[in-house]
Chains A and B, each alone.
Chain A
Amino acid sequence: MPLLFRKADLEGYVLIDHRDSPGFSCDIVADAGRSQLAPYVGAGKKFEGATLYCNHCERIVIKNPDRTRHRASCPKCDHFICDWCAGEYHRTLQCVPFKKVIEDFLTAAARGVANEAPKSLIA
C-alpha cells in the first residue's frame, strides 16, 4: 500500500475552551481577532480545530471551518501560505520559504557576515 501525502497531515491543533467562561461577546470578538470564529468562542463554547503553518512567513493560522473561499498554496514550494503571503506571491511570483531565509542566514554566518540582517518576508 503506497503512502499517500495529504496536506491535512501537516495541520496543527488548537483548542479555545470557554466552557466555563464568558468567552468573547459580540462586542469584543472582533477586537480579539476572532470574528471569523464568533459562533465558536462565545460563553460556554469550546472550539477545537486545525491550524495551518504558512511556509513563507511562519504565521500560524486557525483554519476557519466555515470558510468556502479558496485557501492559498504556493505552487513552487507546494505548501500552504497565508492570505498575506498569497497576495505577495501573486504580486511578485516569488517563492521564498522561511527555510530558505534560514539557509541564507546560516550561509552568511558561515562566511563571516553573521550580522547581516536576514530578509524579512512580510515586513
Chain B
Amino acid sequence: MARRILSCTTITPTATSDTANLVDVTYPFILQGGSSTQQIKIHEVSISGQAASSSSPTFMLLSRDSTVGVTVTDGTGVMDTYMDPATAALTAAPVQGNTTTTKPQRSSTLHLLNCSLNAFGGVYFWRANKWDECPTILGNTASNGEVSLSAFTGGTPGAIGAHIIYEPL
C-alpha cells in the first residue's frame, strides 16, 4: 500500500508512567490498526524540540499499548495525510489521534523505541533501513494493535513537534 504521514504540529507532552492513562492532548498521538487483521509498518519517527527558553529533557517513547484507545479522534494539530496524492482511500483506514473515550495505556514491557531528546533545540530522528526492519502494528487490539508516542516520567517535558511515516498493508 502507500505510505502516510501522521504528524502533530506542536504539543507539550505530559510525563506519564507505563500502564497509566494517557490523558487527552498530553501526547502527540497514537496509531491503531484499522481492522482486526490490518498490518502497519512504521518507517520513520521524527521529533523536533520547540521549547522556547529553558532546558527541557523530554523522554519520548514509541511503545506498544497494553490498553488501546477507544473512539479516537485528532486533537488540535494532529493530522494524517498521504505522501503521494495518487494514494487510494483505504477500506479500513488506520485510526490515529490523541483524544479518546477509553484512554490508552503504554505497555510496561513493549517499548519499541527510545526517542529522548532535549526539547530546547534538540532533534531526534530515526528511519528504518527497509520494509522488513520496521516495527509492525498488528490488528487493533492490545498489545500489538496500537502504538503510542508519549512522554515517559522524568525530565521536564517541553514543546515538541513530531511525525511518523507509516504504511498500512
Contacts and interface: CB of A to CB of B under 8 A. Distances in A.
A117 B110 contact: no
A20 B91 CA distance: 44
B129 A60 contact: no
B58 to A, nearest CB: 9
Interface of B: 36-37, 39, 49, 55, 57, 59, 109-114, 116-118, 120-130, 132-136, 138-139, 141-144, 154-155
B136 A32 contact: no
29 contacts: A12-B133, A13-B126, A16-B122, A16-B123, A16-B124, A18-B121, A21-B55, A24-B57, A28-B57, A28-B154, A31-B155, A33-B116, A51-B128, A53-B129, A53-B133, A53-B134, A53-B135, A58-B112, A60-B113, A105-B37, A105-B144, A106-B37, A109-B36, A115-B36, A118-B139, A120-B143, A120-B144, A122-B109, A123-B143
Contacts of B110: 57, 120, 122-123
Nearest to B48: A17
Contacts of A109: 36-37, 139
Contacts of B123: 15-17
A98 to B, nearest CB: 7
A17 B136 contact: no
A79 B141 CA distance: 27
A31 B155 CA distance: 8
A106 B36 CA distance: 9
Interface in A11-48: 11-25, 28, 31-34
Given A20-B121, A53-B128, A105 B112 contact: no
A109 B36 CA distance: 8
A71 interface: no
Contacts of B126: 12-15, 51, 60
Contact of B136 (A14, A102, A120): A102
Nearest to A28: B57
B70 to A, nearest CB: 16
Nearest to B54: A22
